[in-house]
Chain A
Amino acid sequence: MSVQTETLTDRTAAMTQAAMTQTAARADTAAIKMLARNVKVYYGPKQALKGINLDILENRVLALIGPSGCGKSTFLRCLNRMNDTIENCRVDGTLQLDGEDIYGRMIDTVQLRARVGMVFQKPNPFPKSIYDNIAYGPRIHGMATHRDEMDEVVQKSLERAGLWNEVKDRLKEPGTGLSGGQQQRLCIARAIAVSPEVILMDEPCSALDPIATAHIEELIDELRENFTIVIVTHNMQQAARVSQKTAFFHLGDMVECDDTEEIFTNPRDERTQGYITGRYG
């Protein structure tokens, strides 16, 4: 994995240009939590992202939409360097968290991933007890030293994920024994237990029924108060319901990013319009 340092002028030029297009769209005054400038991702010789510019605002939900294979997951995985685990993946460009370069030499991936948590498409609880699933993160980060503290962290995380009432009597049972929707909420609880600043969610509801989905959407709305959230979804209604900002990806490009309302009522690009009205995708 390497970040090719482009020549300085190149980079500044790209950044100013991107900043200009972005400011035009920014009515929201929230602080910028994460930012991507000219992000290009290659899987071996194949380019998956062709220069993405995007601002992720603090305490807002950003939805990434777009047809399958357009690079949404790829982009999401750049934000906490999960792409590092893929052998032939290469990332170019600038990605920042609170003004700090994510792919810079100074950053520690372990620390980054503690700050930028992730919920995956398929629920992936550890094959351990429900309690240990939640407690694992806080334990390795030394967030709770006493048993009581840990109990509290576990309870609070499960409560925030709306799972506490269902599992409070069976914390010792394996997390893999829960239903799909419960497992996904367990994974969300696990992610928030380490108090990240940003939570990335890759199609968190794709395996869930409408009730569980509604539950998680509510949860996302609540979590927004304390976290910055980026969610990938194929469900237009979901994007409209939970997000404040929406970015439309197409064939490795970020076509447009704007307030969610704006995107769904008044898209500027005809590809966006085509996609959200269901003409393709």
Chain B
Amino acid sequence: MTDLAQQGSRDMTMAHPKSRYQSAEFSARLRARYAAEQRFRAYGIAAVSLAAVMLVILLGSIVSKGYTAFWQNEIRLTVTLDPAELDPQGTRDPKVLAQGNYMKLIRDALAARFPEVTGRNERRQLADILSNGAPFTLQKMVMADPSLVGKTVPVWFQASDDVDQLEKGYIDRSLPEVQRRVNDLQIKALDSLRQDGSLHAGFNTTLFTAGDSREPEQAGIWGAIVGSFLTLVVTMGLSVPIGIAAAVYMEEFAPKNRWTDLIEVNINNLAAVPSIIYGLLGLAVFLNFFGMPRSAPVVGGVVLALMTLPVIIIAARVALKAVPPSIREAALGIGASPLQTVMHHVLPLAMPGILTGTIIGMARALGETAPLLMIGMIAFIVDIPNSFTSSATVLPVQIFMWSDSPERAFTERTSAAIMVLLGFLIVMNGLAVYLRKKFERRW
């Protein structure tokens, strides 16, 4: 402060003794307070940035490892669908067609395409550039359109996972042949195929339509998605009505006494119980005692419902508590019964909050792995589950299993499955936020 300013301020306060809020001591104190505020902001920004960087690293590594899984290399061969192999009697009977030796047709097609490869061993190596699901591709095609028999048609086959990885650049061509999973003969064949446009990468529909498989190129997450869906249906069907009913009863009807206090404390504790404990409970009670089927979505759903119940009850109670008592008094005051008061006024007002809590609980259930391992949902299941009792696995468990596989191709599929799971979670959380915003009320 300059002398002049000091002079001025003294003049202004002449009538009164100098206020303590104008003293030098006070302005020093004020400066210290501002400095503290600045520091606090800096800490906050640093913390947020750190979290953001971690998130970016996490997502970046997943996406960079996994995005290639959405493509799959395919190889085109011209196949002669020889009636002698497929349908000697010419009946076009599906049963007969299903029995055809499609592998031989493919081998013939390969021999025709690469006449220079002659040795038995070499021929086998050549066949290995195709997925060993190739005969099934051909079989499916013929079964769907029996009129193809006798014709010569170009067919796109999935490349084997090693070829796929090579094409995506994950296998180093400069390595010595013995250390490479694709040998020189195969590379030469691939180069030749590429030259006439018979090798290309297309969208990997298998990933989204198939169940699990030992062969990466035939493995998909559809089975796990359906399993997750069935499991979540059970979870939601149980935990939402029970959770809301419990919350409404505890919040609106139950007397406040030692018993309800005890129940409340227990519910809060249950929300913090490690999820694997619920798995053990499910194993002991549902599988061992009630003899329910292993690996079944219904059991998984019940276990996850037990796990999410406390979360939903707590969220619902908070939402109910947030409804102002004046609304209840208004309804009761004109002669609504307690149940009408809750059903017509309190519950609708609490619904957005309950919904948000429910969706977040469901998202947690969707991402849950540990309790499902305990009840056997970790089995290797190829078929798409078609009922609540058929064997199934769920997305996070599928990710866990794939992450354990040695093949490079499974690594990228693991990341792809993680992306899909994260996609679902983001959608669910986004929905929760949207609903909260949309139904936010003032009263």
Complex A-B: 9 CB contacts under 8 Å:
A82-B333, A113-B333, A113-B334, A118-B329, A125-B330, A136-B336, A137-B335, A137-B336, A187-B330
Shortest B349–chain A CB gap in Å is: 7
B interface vs A, CB < 8 Å? 255-256, 324, 326-337, 340, 344-345, 349, 441-443
CA distance A104 to B340 in the complex (A): 23
Is residue A117 contacting chain B, with contact meaning CB distance below 8 A? yes
CA distance A141 to B335 in the complex (A): 8
* Additional 6 contacts, C-beta under 8 A, given A114-B334, A136-B331, A141-B335: A80-B333, A110-B335, A110-B337, A113-B332, A120-B326, A140-B340
- Min CB–CB distance A193 → chain B (angstroms): 8
| Pairwise interchain contact A85-B335, C-beta atoms closer than 8 A | no
A140 & B336 in contact (Cβ 8 Å cutoff): yes
Task: State A176–B326 Cα separation when bound (angstroms).
Answer: 13
Chain B's closest residue to A176 (CB) is: B443
Residues A194 and B326 in contact, CB atoms below 8 Å apart: no
Determine whether the beta carbon of A127 is less than 8 Å from that of B335: no
Cβ of A12 within 8 Å of any chain B Cβ, yes or no, is no
What 0/1 readout, one digit per residue, does chain A (45-64) give for beta carbons within 8 Å of chain B? 00000000000000000000
The reply to whether A110 and B336 contact each other, CB–CB distance below 8 Å, is yes
Bound Cα distance A9, B331 (Å):
39
Contact with B along A104-145 (1 / 0, CB 8 A): 000000110110011010101111000000001100110000
Q: Are B334 and A87 in contact (CB under 8 A)?
A: no
Q: Which of A118, A122, A127, A140 contacts B333 (CB 8 A)?
A: A118
Q: Which 3 A-B pairs have the closest CB atoms?
A: A114-B335, A124-B326, A137-B334
Check A120 against B330 for contact (C-beta < 8 Å): yes
Contact with B along A172-210 (1 / 0, CB 8 A): 000010000000000100110110000000000000000
Chain B residue contacts of A87, Cβ below 8 A = 255-256
Chain B residues positioned under 8 Å from A124 (CB to CB): 324, 326-327, 329-330
B196 to chain A, nearest CB (A): 70
Tell me what chain B mostly uses at the interface: helix, strand, loop, or mixed.
helix
Report the separation of the CA atoms of residues A127 and B443 in the bound assembly, to the nearest whole angstrom.
7
Q: How far is the CA of A7 from the CA of B332 in the complex (A)?
A: 32
Interchain CB contact under 8 A, A85 and B337: no
CB proximity of B387 to chain A, nearest CB, Å: 43
Contacts of A113 in B (CB 8 A): 332-335
Chain B residue at minimum C-beta to C-beta distance from A112: B335
Pair B336/A126 contact, Cβ less than 8 Å: no
Cβ-defined contact, A120 with B333, below 8 A:
yes
How many angstroms from the CA of A67 to the CA of B36 in the assembled complex?
47
**Least Cβ–Cβ distance between A80 and chain B, in angstroms:** 7
Task: Please report the C-alpha to C-alpha distance between residue A111 and residue B332 in the assembled complex, in whole angstroms.
Answer: 11
Give me the interface of A with B, judged by CB distance under 8 Å: 80, 82, 85, 87, 110-111, 113-114, 117-118, 120, 122, 124-127, 136-137, 140-141, 176, 187, 190-191, 193-194
**Whole-angstrom CA separation of A190 from B332 in the bound complex:** 12
Indicate if the CB atoms of A111 and B327 lie closer than 8 Å: no
Interchain CA distance A216-B334 in the complex, whole Å: 19
CB distance from A138 to the nearest CB of B (A): 9
**Of B329, B334, B443, which is within 8 A of A85 by CB?**
B329
Complex: A140 Cα to B345 Cα, angstroms: 13
A85-B349 in contact (CB<8A) = no
A178 to B336, CA, bound (A): 24
Q: A126 CA to B441 CA in the complex, in Å? A: 11
Contacts of B344 in A (CB 8 A): 136, 140
What is the bound-complex CA distance between A193 and B326, given in angstroms?
A: 19
- Minimal beta-carbon separation of A129 from chain B (angstroms): 13
B328 touches A85 (CB 8 A): yes
CA distance A141 to B439 in the complex (A): 29
Task: Say yes or no: B334 contacts A136, CB within 8 Å.
Answer: yes
**Minimal beta-carbon separation of B392 from chain A (angstroms):** 43
In the complex, the answer to whether B337 meets A176 with C-beta atoms within 8 Å is no
B337 surroundings in chain A (CB, below 8 A): 110
Please tell me if the beta carbons of B334 and A190 are within 8 angstroms of each other in the complex: yes
Residues of chain A contacted by B336 (CB below 8 angstroms): 110, 136-137, 140
Question: Which residues does chain A contribute within 8 Å of B335, judged by CB atoms?
Answer: 110-111, 113-114, 117, 137, 140-141, 194
Which chain B residues lie closer than 8 Å to A126 at the CB level?
327, 330-331, 345
Q: Which of B255, B330, B340 has the most CB of A within 10 A?
A: B330
The reply to whether A120 and B329 form a contact with Cβ atoms under 8 Å apart is: yes
CB-nearest residue of chain A to B443: A127
Do A82 and B334 have beta carbons less than 8 Å apart?
A: no
Residue contact B443 to A82, C-beta cutoff 8 Å: no
Q: How far is the CA of A140 from the CA of B337 in the complex (A)?
A: 9
- Cα distance, A122 to B327, chains bound together (Å): 11
Chain A residue nearest to B340 (CB atoms) is A140
Report the Cα distance A136→B330, complex, angstroms: 11
Tell me whether A117 and B334 are in contact in the complex, defined as CB-CB below 8 angstroms, given that A136-B344, A176-B442 are known contacts. Answer: yes
Instruction: Report the minimal beta-carbon distance from B259 to chain A, rounded to whole angstroms.
Output: 14
Bound complex: CA A140 to CA B341 (Å): 11
Q: How far is the CA of A1 from the CA of B286 in the complex (A)?
A: 43
Within 8 Å CB of A80, what residues of B? 333
Measured in the bound complex, the distance between the Cα atoms of B343 and A140 in whole Å is 12
Distance of A204 from chain B, by nearest CB (Å): 13
Q: How far is the CB of A234 from chain B (nearest CB, A)?
A: 20
Which of B334, B337, B340 counts the most chain A CB atoms within 10 A? B334
What residues on B are CB-neighbors of A140 within 8 Å? Answer: 335-336, 340, 344
Which residues of B lie under 8 Å from residue A137 when comparing CB positions?
334-336
Chain A residue with minimal CB distance to B255? A87
Shortest beta-carbon distance, B442 to chain A, in Å?
Answer: 7
Q: How far, in whole Å, are A114 and B332 apart by their CA atoms in the complex?
A: 9
Decide if A117 touches B333 in the complex (CB within 8 Å).
Answer: yes
Complex CA distance for A114 and B324, rounded to whole angstroms: 22
The distance in angstroms between the C-alpha atoms of A203 and B334, with both chains bound, is: 18
User: Nearest-CB distance from B256 to chain A (Å)?
Assistant: 6
Provide the residues of chain B in CB contact with A193, threshold 8 Å: 334
Q: Which residues of B contact A120 (CB under 8 A)?
A: 326, 329-330, 333
- Of all chain A residues, which has the CB nearest B334? A137
Closest residue of chain B to A137 (Cβ to Cβ) is B334
Docked-complex contact A85 and B332, CB < 8 angstroms: yes
Q: Which residues in B have their C-beta under 8 angstroms from that of A191?
A: 333-334
B333 CB to closest chain A CB, in angstroms? 4
Task: For residue A108, give the distance in angstroms from its CB to the closest CB of chain B.
Answer: 9
| A194 engages B331 (CB within 8 Å) | no
Q: Point out the residues of chain A lying under 8 angstroms from B326, CB to CB.
A: 120, 122, 124
Chain A residues whose CB sits within 8 angstroms of the CB of B330 once the complex forms: 120, 124-126, 187, 190
Closest Cβ of chain B to A110, distance in Å, is 5
Contacts of B345 in A (CB 8 A): 126
Q: Write the nearest CB–CB distance from A10 to chain B, whole angstroms.
A: 30
